[in-house]
């Protein structure tokens, strides 16, 4: 069983930045792919970014490419999402997810464990 806890969400003005964190329990964090997803009101779960187990490869949705950066610290068992130049359309609940494989994975159904989410609100 893996437990994931997101933090770092909040209210920010358009053009601003936030950094989300996802702390994972367990001793095998470094062997798992990780991902960020988001869900806005009335919309489906949307892929944001994924990172392979080693951290050597990262992939992004077109909507966030160039603005968001996913990273991980396998010593601290933590994944991050640095979000810059935020837009109103980035407003959503952001979830981190864990896949018991090296990755990468893009679909929400691919992932095994999920955090409870953290709200990000961007005011225009």
- Say what percent of the chain tops pLDDT 70: 100
Q: What is the DSSP letter of 64?
A: T
* pLDDT band at residue 28 under the 50/70/90 scheme: confident
All residues at 6 or more sequence positions from 105 whose CB lies less than 8 Å from its CB, including other chains: 33, 35, 50, 99, 111
* pLDDT band at residue 51 under the 50/70/90 scheme: very high
Q: What is the DSSP string of 65-115?
A: TTTEEEEEETTTTEEEEEE-S--GGG-EEEEEEEESSS-----GGG-SEE-
When the pLDDT of each residue in the chain is averaged and rounded to a whole number, the result is 95
Please give the torsion angle defined by the CA atoms of residues 38, 43, 9 and 84, in that order, rounded to the nearest 10 degrees.
Answer: 70
With CA atoms as reference, report the closest residue to 113 among 28, 9, 10, 20.
Answer: 28
Is the separation of the CB atoms in 10 and 19 below 8 Å?
no
Residue-wise pLDDT for 92-118, tens only, equals 999 999 998 888 899 988 999 999 999
- Asked if pLDDT for residue 84 goes beyond 90, the answer is yes
Residue 103 is predicted with a pLDDT of 86
Residue 78 is predicted with a pLDDT of 97
């Amino acid at each position: 069983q893996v437990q994931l806890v997101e933090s770092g969400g909040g209210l920010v003005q358009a053009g601003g930045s936030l950094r989300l964190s996802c702390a994972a329990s367990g001793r095998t964090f470094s062997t798992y792919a990780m991902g960020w997803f988001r869900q806005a009101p009335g919309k489906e779960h949307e892929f944001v970014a994924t990172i392979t187990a080693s951290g050597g490869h990262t992939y992004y949705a077109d909507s966030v490419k160039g603005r968001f950066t996913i990273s991980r610290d396998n010593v601290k068992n933590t994944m991050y999402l640095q979000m810059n130049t935020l837009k109103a359309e980035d407003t959503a609940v952001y979830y981190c997810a864990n896949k018991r494989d090296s990755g990468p994975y893009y679909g929400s159904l691919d992932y095994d464990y999920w955090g409870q989410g953290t709200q990000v609100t961007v005011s225009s």
